[in-house]
Amino acid sequence: MGTLFLTFALIVGSLAAGYTLRRGVEAGFIVFSGSLPVLRQRMQLLALFGCIPCAALLSLWGLPQPDARLLALPLLGVANWVVGGMLALGAARLLHLNRAQTGSLFCCGTFTNIGALGGLICVLALGERTIALVALYRLCEDVYYFAVGLPVARSFGTAKAGGGKPLYAVLAEPVFLWVLAALGTGFALRWAALPRPAWCGTLASGLVLLATILFLTGIGMSLRLSRMKAYTRQWLAVACIKFALAPCCITALAWYLGLGAVEGGLPLQVVLVLSSMPVAMNALVPPSLYGLDLDLANTCWLTSTAALVLVLPVVLWLLPLL
């Protein structure tokens, strides 16, 4: 119960802080001379490419002797995104959506919030060791986003903005190289058998919490509640994909690959949590770039995030059973 309360307190408090800040600036109650969009972007960049990679480095350093079966984690991450995207395209066909709505539904089905929310819940519910497992699970996230997610989304749009990149261009991205360097350094320290100071575990957990607060506060600053009732069928479809179909498929695959027998089933528990997460904030980027239905994407993001109030207790109840 403590984990559940703390998780919701961090999520709701961070979103509310960002939303209150923006409304206060717009109403003139809060004086802010800078640009809120720029501030929001810098906060999210610091969270995603500063705090989280550093936390992963420290956590990988403290891992027990790695099991070869953990190499399945990046593949399971990719499988989760592919399954979510394919199910979303199938749902769009069943709902007879137009191309703009289909592209947005694909984005909501395939992009999942595993960095901020997923990492936070794993740390609070399962401990600091999970930071490294989360990092492995999302190792191919940037490659998938640029090489697969954006090109597919763009194929449904009308805008001419640049989209997906060739694989070699993605692998040469400074951000991707930085994340890869952080993971590589963590593995190198672990395999060199250098003792990790005790405070590194606490620092790693603190960095994940800070990343979540920064990321969600930035989201709250951009939150606008509008036209949600027009997309009831769409967000219900996304909820079924995110919280039932995809988790069942990916967790079953992880069990089949033997992750339930590694470290007392901890990797299998991490997979269950991460495959049950809501729509990611980056699902809102392609609709705005390519002329897709941005209101649909906003609605699915908000409703799936709010649905954690119902979903998270079920996930926490299932974890000991794995």
Query: Is 199 buried (19+), middle (13-18) or exposed (0-12) by CB count in 10 A?
Result: exposed
Report the pLDDT averaged over residues 271-285.
90
The pLDDT score that the predictor gives to residue 39 is 84
Q: What is the dihedral of CA 96, 99, 105, 110, to 10 degrees?
A: 120
pLDDT in tens, 54-65: 887 887 787 666
Please tell me the pTM assigned to this model: 0.77
The pLDDT score that the predictor gives to residue 101 is 94
Report the pLDDT averaged over residues 201-217.
82
d(CA 9, CA 105) in angstroms, rounded, equals 29
pLDDT at 240 exceeding the cut of 90? yes
- Whole-number average pLDDT of the chain: 83
pLDDT at 165 exceeding the cut of 60? no
Question: In this prediction, what percent of the chain has a pLDDT beyond 70?
Answer: 89
According to DSSP, the residues that pair with 279 across neighbouring strands are: 112
Domain of residue 194 covers 2-321
Report the pLDDT averaged over residues 41-67.
76
Question: In this prediction, what percent of the chain has a pLDDT beyond 90?
Answer: 29
**Structural domains counted in the chain:** 1
Buried b / exposed e along 158-182 (16+ C-beta atoms within 10 A) = eeeeebbbeeeebeeeeebeebeeb
Report the pLDDT averaged over residues 72-84.
95
pLDDT at 243 exceeding the cut of 90? yes
pLDDT at 268 exceeding the cut of 90? yes
The model's confidence at residue 279, banded by pLDDT at 50, 70 and 90, is very high
The pLDDT score that the predictor gives to residue 76 is 96
The model's confidence at residue 239, banded by pLDDT at 50, 70 and 90, is very high
Report the pLDDT averaged over residues 143-167.
73
d(CA 267, CA 252) in angstroms, rounded, equals 13
pLDDT at 85 exceeding the cut of 80? yes
d(CA 191, CA 198) in angstroms, rounded, equals 18
The model's confidence at residue 242, banded by pLDDT at 50, 70 and 90, is very high
According to DSSP, the residues that pair with 112 across neighbouring strands are: 279
pLDDT in tens, 288-302: 778 888 889 888 988
pLDDT at 68 exceeding the cut of 70? yes
d(CA 56, CA 86) in angstroms, rounded, equals 30
Cβ neighbour number for residue 48 with a 10 Å cutoff: 21
Question: Is the CB of residue 148 less than 8 Å from the CB of residue 164?
Answer: yes
Report the pLDDT averaged over residues 131-159.
82
Report the pLDDT averaged over residues 118-126.
87
* Residue 89, domain CATH: 1.20.1530
The values of phi and psi at residue 97, to 5°, are -80, 155
